[in-house]
Amino acid sequence: MIKRRSLGQHFLTSNSIANSIVDSAHIGKDDIVLEIGTGHGILTPLLCANAKQVISVEKDPVLYSKAKDAFSHLPNLVMEKGDAFKKNIEFTVLVSNLPYSESRTAIEWIVQRKFRRAVVMVQKEFAQKLAKKDSKERRAVSVLASYCLGIENILDVKKTNFRPPPKVDSVVIAITQKHVLSGHIVHTVNKLFSFKRKTIRHIGKKMGIEIDSDKRLEEMPDEEIIDIAKRITK
């Protein structure tokens, strides 16, 4: 269990919360559901109940083997071992109880994929960061999320609903899609924010384009930041 904790793995133990997560995903009979992080499989059979197919990906080889044996009777389940963020899997619905350490990676990955709906559990503080509108508090991931995703808080989850319990509470968020970005643009937005204290004119020079503005990133709307990233990546 110590090893699992070090990997940021905290396993949901509440069946009622698991049911709420799956209900929030609005899964239909034609949906292909991607589950990132099978864990002990508290969500997996619930996802299979209504979906056309469920693809559940688990990075931990021990958890993968246990889940493959436990759920071999589910005809619409495909178990895969490895890092889902390095796989090219098509899906319509994403459901995941992510390790906290992978939340940012997940959002950057989600904005590059086409999907109908996603329901993920993240650290409460991270969810608040995604929703930040205060210019000085914005980060690259906040801009990417705001521009690409519609995010709604569905359910607060206390740390006592996990084993081992994390140090902080979680929140389940539902995500719909507004825009899709390329990996190059995501990378460029992150790079822009590495010069956050500079004016956009200065940043433009660093990135090889001319920008006639002395604004700083914190003063710019999301759309302008994305447009600059698009110009840089052309």
**Band of pLDDT at residue 146, cut at 50, 70 and 90:** very high
Is the pLDDT at 81 greater than 90? The verdict is yes
How much is the pLDDT for 131?
A: 81
Who's near 87: CB < 8 A, 6+ residues apart?
Answer: 57, 80
Q: Are residues 174 and 80 in the same domain?
A: yes
Q: Are residues 99 and 53 in the same domain?
A: yes
Q: Are residues 139 and 117 in the same domain?
A: yes
Neighbours of 131 (CB within 10 A): 12
How much is the pLDDT for 134?
A: 65
Who's near 159: CB < 8 A, 6+ residues apart?
Answer: 165, 166, 167, 168, 169, 170
**Rounded to 5°, angle at Cα 21 from 19 and 24:** 105
- Euclidean distance between CA atoms 106 and 34, whole angstroms: 13
Is the pLDDT at 200 greater than 50? The verdict is yes
Mean pLDDT lowest among 112-126, 168-182, 205-219: 205-219
CA 51 to chain centre: 21
Q: Are residues 120 and 101 in the same domain?
A: yes
**Band of pLDDT at residue 1, cut at 50, 70 and 90:** very low
What does the block give as tokens for 20?
A: 């709420």
Query: Phi/psi at 51 (nearest 5 deg)?
Result: -80, 155
Is the pLDDT at 184 greater than 70? The verdict is yes
Most confident of 8-22, 103-117, 129-143, 191-205: 103-117
- Euclidean distance between CA atoms 231 and 234, whole angstroms: 5
Contact in structure between 176 and 150 (CB atoms under 8 Å): yes
Is the pLDDT at 6 greater than 50? The verdict is no
Is the pLDDT at 198 greater than 80? The verdict is yes
- Euclidean distance between CA atoms 209 and 227, whole angstroms: 12
Is the pLDDT at 135 greater than 90? The verdict is no
List Cα–Cα distances, 163 to 4, 47, 160, in angstroms: 10, 21, 8
Residues in the chain: 234
pLDDT digits (tens, 9 = 90+) for 92-104: 999 998 888 899 9
How much is the pLDDT for 182?
A: 97
Task: Name the residue among 159, 154, 147 with its Cα closest to residue 107.
Answer: 147
| pTM, 2 dp | 0.92
How much is the pLDDT for 9?
A: 75
- Euclidean distance between CA atoms 232 and 226, whole angstroms: 10
Q: Are residues 154 and 204 in the same domain?
A: no
Q: Are residues 151 and 223 in the same domain?
A: no
Q: Are residues 189 and 152 in the same domain?
A: no
Q: Are residues 127 and 194 in the same domain?
A: no
Give the domain extent around 189. 185-233
Q: Is 40 exposed, middle or buried (0-12, 13-18, 19+ CB in 10 A)?
A: middle
Is the pLDDT at 216 greater than 70? The verdict is yes
Find the mean pLDDT for residues 171-192.
97
Q: Are residues 117 and 196 in the same domain?
A: no
**Band of pLDDT at residue 125, cut at 50, 70 and 90:** very high
How much is the pLDDT for 5?
A: 41
How much is the pLDDT for 3?
A: 38
Final residue belonging to a domain, choices 147, 163, 180: 180
- What percent of the chain stands above pLDDT 70? 95
Q: Are residues 24 and 65 in the same domain?
A: yes
Is the pLDDT higher at 41 or at 97?
A: 41
Q: Are residues 53 and 67 in the same domain?
A: yes
- What percent of the chain stands above pLDDT 90? 85
How many separate domains does the chain show?
2
